[in-house]
Amino acid sequence: MADPLSKDDELAGTEQPFVQHLIELRDRLIKTVIAMAIAAAILALYPGPAALYDILAQPLVAHLPKGTTLIATSVISPFMVPLKILLMAAFLLALPVVLYQVWAFVAPGLYTHEKKLVLPLVISSTVLFFIGVAFCTSSCSGRSLPSSRALRPRASRPRRISRPT
């Protein structure tokens, strides 16, 4: 690392007071929230929270026993679960903007050789993240659900109730 008093330090003279950093951080966070709100609005219009929920619940519903359905475990969960899914999907859709805002906040404090490493890192980590999401959605959840049904306690297994005639 370069000596802070060195004349060839490329970051010399670029320091900002602490309050300036907080103001810039606030501005970056506001831009990130705006990008997520736009993505959420787009996803709310098409395909909509219910469709997103159906897409994510489909592997689970496919492995449910015949004649059973998913249930709500609290009064507010039929509203909150699709909303949470919508917000997570909006975050994923706005992820390039979020990562850019993080980069724009951190970049002024990096040396040139450090900045050269960031672009390949961001691109590869974003691509690998989405590959991991696709892998878990397509492969892992479909294989883990049948085995998790076998591990449930007897009391929670569906039973046939015979009615007296």
Q: Report cis status (omega within 30 of 0) of the bond before 96.
A: no
Predicted confidence at residue 7, as pLDDT, reads 58
What does the DSSP assignment read for 13-48? T----HHHHHHHHHHHHHHHHHHHHHHHHHHHHTT-
Confidence tier at 121 by pLDDT (50, 70, 90): confident
- Write out pLDDT tens, residues 46-104: 999 999 999 888 878 887 778 888 888 899 999 999 999 999 999 999 988 998 899 89
Indicate the burial class of 101 (C-beta count within 10 angstroms; 0-12, 13-18, 19 or more): buried
How many residues in the chain? 165
